[in-house]
Amino acid sequence: MKSTSTIGTDMHSMPQTFLLPASTPLTEEAVKLLHDMFTNLHPFDVRNTLLELYHTYVRHEHGNLPINFDEMTAHFFCLDNILKLLTEKQLSGNADGPA
């Protein structure tokens, strides 16, 4: 799937084009929503909010964690790793990889 992105562009530059794997579940609308989210919210702030919510939940629930808690934590840590990578890329100004 080929998609045109306006990520990191301004009035003086051309939109970036990137390819997504053919099997991606991301639609153009989903990519636009992610772009809008990270244009308005820094990944560092999103990550900190999620960590605080996660820790508050764990402290509040004590020993009464849901049956699927292992799956929930796996999802959380996957998202956490993505947000860490995005934060590193934004802070370094490097679109090709972490600092």
pLDDT tens string 10-36: 555 667 777 888 888 888 888 888 888
Please tell me the predicted confidence (pLDDT) of residue 14: 63
Q: Considering the chain, what percentage of its residues have pLDDT values greater than 90?
A: 1
Please tell me the predicted confidence (pLDDT) of residue 99: 40
Distances (CA, A) of 48 to 42, 61, 77, 89: 10, 20, 13, 17
Average pLDDT score over the chain = 77
**pTM of the shown model:** 0.55
Q: For the chain, where are the alpha helices, taking DSSP H only? A: 28-40, 43-61, 69-92
Q: Is the pLDDT of residue 83 over 80?
A: yes
